[in-house]
Amino acid sequence: MLTKATDILGVQVQKALAELYQLNVELNTISFQQTKKEFEGDFTLVTFPYVKASKKGPEQTAEEIGNYIKTHCKELISFNVVKGFLNLLLSNDYWQSFFAEILKIENYGIIKANATSPLVLLEYSSPNTNKPLHLGHVRNHLVGYSVAEILKANGKRVSKTCIVNDRGVHICKSMLAWQKFGNGETPESSGMKGDHLVGKYYVAFDKQYKKEIEELVAQGMSKEEAEKKAPSMLEVQAMLLKWEDGDSEVMNLWKTMNSWVYAGFDVTYKKLGVDFDSTYYESNTYLLGKDIVEEGLKKGVFFKKDDGSVWIDLTAEGLDQKLVLRADGTSVYITQDIGTAALRYKDNPDVTQMIYTVGNEQDYHFKVLFHILIKMGYAWAKECYHLSYGMVELPEGKMKSREGTVVDADDLLQGMYETAEATTSELGKIDGFSEEEAANLYRTISLGALKYFILKVDPKKKMLFDPKESIDFNGNTGPFIQYTHARIKSILRKAEYTFNKSDVVATTTLHEKEKELICLMHELPNVIQEAGKTYSPALVANYVYELSKAYSQFYNVPELNIVREENAAVKKFRLALSYKCSEVIKTGMKLLGVEVPERM
């Protein structure tokens, strides 16, 4: 069992409060912060909350608690009090034995799931089949994938799932345009990636449609009417009806074009390194919600208006009335979502939570959806969670596909790859790499830069991306962390170090920078837990950066040279410390979906 410093101290504080002031508090309410650099100590207890019970000033209270711990706890070597802050300093012996303890733990920080662990269903990606993926999707993919990894590390079983929006008016638009202007063009004949080819016709439709509207408006029609009566729009609607009737020609075209898109998506998914355990298609699920709405009508969850449309009244919940079925009996988005949720539950009866990775523009939608599911009486509905993330904005504002201000995912990846290639060959450190190894490395670095760049910011917040300024490789970046890892590996190679569980590692002196590294590693389980609780990869990203930075500082202290250290025990300790750092960096980066190279 791991003897975490905060656990040891927490118990002591608890006892101190009970014995000194007859105050009984729960262990988990006692929290420590890392002592600020200006003060001496490892952890700090804020004593203001306890002055009521002690009936003494904050300083005296701190003093008394400090004294109590000092006499009862051998790990505590000294303490000091500044105002109401009690700074606790642990002995080097403690930190060394703590390090020896974690050194032996494989996959330190990770809680492994087993067959009986809670099952979480996490939806992400949710693409449309009418256009290629862009930067917004990339954030979705990276956040979704990383949160899945983080939840796994918290001992959960996670099943990643994807819903493909493969039907509707917008899909018919690209189909119609292809029929009209395509001349039988295919991905093979054009050499274009399938999703880009279909996207091209989606744009072509829009162009044609706009032209028609302009003409009609010029003839004196109002803009609104023109939008409804433009010939292309009428054709699209006719096509949608045919699709719903299962017209074989339309169905064939639909299947063909969708298959192009899927092939294109697969390439992008693979490049990004994301995957799914299951995929649902809206074309299969869009009718499912209707039965549930019927059922809800009987239960009185929904009500019918005079025109026959079905609604739910959420005014008591602070929302308003919401349409769930149109007057003509057709479903709206939320009808589908109700159906899909129910189907997923049916497919995974032991699921304990469903998570939806969807942009924050849908915040309202999911509030409504979850309320409906709860009112329908589904036990699992309370555990639904909308993993909402902010939009990625460009310097000129939001991305708009119609205005051509979209950053295409494939272009972005390609650009990153080229930057990685240029930077790496400029530095000239990978002599002896085969072409394949080099290509692999460029891929690793470019993905690392991109993923870290996106994941280091809190998902809830909107973020800014400037395509003109390429993503940095220096400072607080993915490549910096990857570099730190590669550098450690290089040292270990040079020193011919191989990790051995039974090695005894200790040093008589513990340098401040060495201790800092151990303290940081002490935090890893907390960080992973907190990241899981708040669904925030950013916490992991920031942590790994802190650790990498601390390692670089340690590395740059001349008297802490590892390879040239003559004292064998000290050398071994520093090697083991470095080794464990590289492991923790690797673990953290894996939670972000980023690989770390041995050399770069």
Partner RNA sequence: GGUUAUGUAGCUCAACUGGAUAGAGCAUCGCACUACGGAUGCGAAGGUUUGGGGUUCGAAUCCCUACAUGACCA
Residue from the set 156, 290, 451, 487 that interacts with RNA by CB under 7 A = 487
* Nearer to RNA (CB atom), residue 342 or residue 416: 416
Interface with RNA by CB under 7 A: which range of 26-34, 130-138, 166-174, 431-439? 26-34
Residue from the set 281, 553, 586, 590 that interacts with RNA by CB under 7 A = 553
With beta carbons less than 8 A apart as the criterion, state whether 486 and 600 touch.
yes
What letter represents residue 300's amino acid? G
Q: Give the separation between CA 391 and CA 143, rounded to whole angstroms.
A: 12
* Nearer to RNA (CB atom), residue 284 or residue 309: 309
CB of 407 to RNA, least distance (A): 14
Residue 472 in the binding site for RNA (CB under 7 A) = yes
CB of 147 to RNA, least distance (A): 14
Residue 62 in the binding site for RNA (CB under 7 A) = no
Output the CA–CA distances (angstroms, integers) from residue 63 to 57, 59, 201, in the order listed: 10, 6, 74
Residue 304 in the binding site for RNA (CB under 7 A) = no
Q: Are strands 310-313 and 303-304 parallel, antiparallel or unpaired?
A: antiparallel
With beta carbons less than 8 A apart as the criterion, state whether 450 and 418 touch.
no
* Nearer to RNA (CB atom), residue 154 or residue 208: 154
DSSP per position, 81-115? EETTEEEEEE-HHHHHHHHHHHHT-TTTTPBPP-T
* Nearer to RNA (CB atom), residue 212 or residue 565: 565
Smallest CA-to-CA distance from 3 within 101, 69, 111 is with: 101
Residue from the set 234, 263, 464, 569 that interacts with RNA by CB under 7 A = 464
In the beta sheet, which residues pair with residue 354?
Answer: 121, 384
Residue from the set 23, 119, 287, 391 that interacts with RNA by CB under 7 A = 391
CB of 91 to RNA, least distance (A): 19
Q: Give the separation between CA 206 and CA 521, rounded to whole angstroms.
A: 54
Burial class (CB in 10 A: 0-12, 13-18, 19+), 478: buried
Smallest CA-to-CA distance from 553 within 166, 23, 37 is with: 37
CB of 28 to RNA, least distance (A): 11
**Coil, strand or helix at 161:** strand
**Coil, strand or helix at 293:** helix
Output the CA–CA distances (angstroms, integers) from residue 399 to 23, 433, 574, in the order listed: 56, 39, 49
Residues 406-435 that bind RNA (CB under 7 A): 420, 423-424, 427, 429
**Residue 151: how many other CB atoms lie within 10 Å:** 23
Residue 476 in the binding site for RNA (CB under 7 A) = yes
Interface with RNA by CB under 7 A: which range of 37-45, 159-167, 193-201, 215-223? 37-45
Residues 74-93 that bind RNA (CB under 7 A): 82-85, 87
With beta carbons less than 8 A apart as the criterion, state whether 182 and 138 touch.
no
* Nearer to RNA (CB atom), residue 177 or residue 392: 392
Residue from the set 69, 148, 164, 600 that interacts with RNA by CB under 7 A = 600
With beta carbons less than 8 A apart as the criterion, state whether 123 and 395 touch.
no
Output the CA–CA distances (angstroms, integers) from residue 149 to 127, 209, 543, in the order listed: 21, 44, 16
CB of 269 to RNA, least distance (A): 25
Q: What is the chain's Cα-based Rg? A: 29
Interface with RNA by CB under 7 A: which range of 16-24, 149-157, 257-265, 462-470? 462-470
* Nearer to RNA (CB atom), residue 193 or residue 322: 322
Residue from the set 12, 44, 174, 331 that interacts with RNA by CB under 7 A = 44
Residue from the set 474, 498, 502, 509 that interacts with RNA by CB under 7 A = 474
Interface with RNA by CB under 7 A: which range of 286-294, 403-411, 501-509, 556-564? 556-564
What letter represents residue 64's amino acid? E
Output the CA–CA distances (angstroms, integers) from residue 182 to 186, 248, 505, in the order listed: 9, 19, 70
* Nearer to RNA (CB atom), residue 79 or residue 265: 79
Q: Give the separation between CA 301 and CA 319, rounded to whole angstroms.
A: 15
The helix (H) or strand (E) run that includes residue 120 is: strand 119-123
Q: Give the separation between CA 134 and CA 145, rounded to whole angstroms.
A: 16
Residue 303 in the binding site for RNA (CB under 7 A) = no
What letter represents residue 136's amino acid? G
* Nearer to RNA (CB atom), residue 274 or residue 449: 449
Residue from the set 23, 100, 407, 463 that interacts with RNA by CB under 7 A = 463
Smallest CA-to-CA distance from 85 within 157, 35, 128, 135 is with: 35
With beta carbons less than 8 A apart as the criterion, state whether 481 and 545 touch.
yes
* Nearer to RNA (CB atom), residue 214 or residue 598: 598
Interface with RNA by CB under 7 A: which range of 12-20, 108-116, 249-257, 457-465? 457-465
Q: Which residues, other chains included, contact 65 with Cβ-Cβ below 8 Å and sequence gap of 6+?
A: 13, 16, 17, 20, 45, 47, 50, 86
Residues 251-270 that bind RNA (CB under 7 A): none
* Nearer to RNA (CB atom), residue 57 or residue 377: 57
Residues 86-145 that bind RNA (CB under 7 A): 87
Interface with RNA by CB under 7 A: which range of 166-174, 349-357, 403-411, 480-488? 480-488
Residue 490 in the binding site for RNA (CB under 7 A) = yes
Residue 397 in the binding site for RNA (CB under 7 A) = yes
* Nearer to RNA (CB atom), residue 100 or residue 463: 463
At which residue do the structure tokens 């009970």 appear?
18
Residue 556 in the binding site for RNA (CB under 7 A) = yes
Residue from the set 112, 468, 501, 564 that interacts with RNA by CB under 7 A = 564
Residue from the set 95, 99, 483, 535 that interacts with RNA by CB under 7 A = 483
With beta carbons less than 8 A apart as the criterion, state whether 266 and 410 touch.
no
Q: Give the separation between CA 197 and CA 466, rounded to whole angstroms.
A: 26
CB of 424 to RNA, least distance (A): 4
* Nearer to RNA (CB atom), residue 163 or residue 449: 449
* Nearer to RNA (CB atom), residue 76 or residue 420: 420
Smallest CA-to-CA distance from 124 within 387, 448, 465, 463 is with: 387
CB of 141 to RNA, least distance (A): 18
Residues 523-552 that bind RNA (CB under 7 A): 530, 534, 538-539, 542, 545, 549, 552
Residues 307-366 that bind RNA (CB under 7 A): 318, 320, 322-323, 360-361, 363-365
Residue 46 in the binding site for RNA (CB under 7 A) = yes
